[in-house]
C-alpha cells in the first residue's frame, strides 16, 4: 500500500493519553481480529498481554535448555579431568563418582551461567533485537514512547488491514494524532 506521494505505508498509528486508555484500545483492536499490531509504552503495562491476546512468554523453554547445557558441561568439565585425564588424589579421597559433592559448586555456577546467557540472548532474538532501525521511528511523535506517552500501531501487512477500518477503530477507541507511518 502506498500513499499518493508514493511512500510505502508501514502502519497506521495513534497516540493515547494514558496507560488505561491504551489498555482499553488494545482490547478493542484484539476483538476486531487484527493480528499484526502492537502497542508501545514507556513501561510494561500490567495485563496488557491478555488485552492483546498474547499468551505467556515461552522464554523459559530456551532458558531451561541453556541451564541443562551448563549442567552437563560442568559434569564433563569436572569428571573429565578429575576422573579420567588427570586424577588428583586429594585428602586420600576417591576420584570416581563418589567425589561428586566436591563438584556441586561448579555444577551450580555453570548451570546458572549458561541459563543466564541463554536468557539474555534468547530474549533479544525472540524480540528481533538488536536492530538498527524500525519504520515506527519515522514518526516524530514516537520518541515519547520511551518517555510518557502510549502508542497503538496497526501494520499495513495485517490481512484485515484497510485504512478506513484502522482509522475508524483508532478514532473510536480514543486515539489521538492518528498518523500514517511510512515504511522508509
The reply to whether 10 sits near another protein by the rule CB under 8 A is no
- What cell was used for 95? 576420584
What does the alpha-carbon distance between residue 68 and residue 75 come to, in Å, rounded to a whole number?
11
Produce one character per residue of 73-108: b if its CB has 16 or more CB atoms within 10 Å, e if not: bbeeebbeebeeeeeeeeeeeeeeeebeeeeeeebe
Strand partners, 9: 182
Q: Which one, 2 or 50, has the nearer CB to another protein?
A: 50
Binding mask 74-93 for another protein (x = CB under 8 A): ---xx--xx--xx-x-x--x
- H helices present in 6-149, as ranges: 19-31, 48-51, 60-79, 104-126
181 lines the binding site for another protein (CB under 8 A): no
Looking at 5, 97, 98, 132, which residue binds another protein (CB under 8 A)? 132
Return the residue of 63, 156, 170, 181 that touches another protein, per CB under 8 A.
63
Which of 32, 68, 72, 116 is the binder for another protein (CB under 8 A)? 116
- x-or-dash pattern for another protein, window 141-180, by CB under 8 A? -xxxxxxx--------------------------------
Amino acid at each position: 500500500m502506498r500513499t499518493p506521494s508514493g511512500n510505502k505505508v508501514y502502519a497506521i498509528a495513534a497516540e493515547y493519553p494514558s496507560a488505561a486508555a491504551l489498555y482499553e484500545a488494545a482490547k478493542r483492536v484484539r476483538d476486531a481480529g487484527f493480528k499484526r499490531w502492537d502497542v508501545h509504552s514507556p513501561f510494561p503495562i500490567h495485563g496488557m498481554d491478555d488485552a492483546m491476546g498474547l499468551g505467556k512468554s515461552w522464554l523459559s523453554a530456551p532458558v531451561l535448555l541453556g541451564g541443562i547445557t551448563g549442567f552437563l558441561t560442568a559434569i564433563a568439565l569436572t569428571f573429565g579431568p578429575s576422573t579420567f585425564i588427570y586424577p588428583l588424589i586429594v585428602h586420600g579421597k576417591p576420584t570416581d563418582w563418589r567425589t561428586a559433592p566436591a563438584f556441586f559448586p561448579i555444577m551450580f555456577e555453570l548451570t546458572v551461567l549458561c541459563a543466564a546467557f541463554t536468557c539474555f540472548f534468547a530474549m533479544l532474538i525472540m524480540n528481533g533485537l538488536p536492530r538498527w532501525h524500525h519504520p515506527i521511528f519515522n514518526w516524530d511523535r514516537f520518541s515519547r514512547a520511551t518517555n510518557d506517552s502510549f502508542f497503538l500501531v496497526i501494520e499495513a501487512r495485517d490481512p484485515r488491514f484497510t485504512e478506513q477500518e484502522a482509522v475508524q477503530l483508532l478514532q473510536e477507541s480514543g486515539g489521538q494524532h492518528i498518523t500514517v507511518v511510512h515504511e522508509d
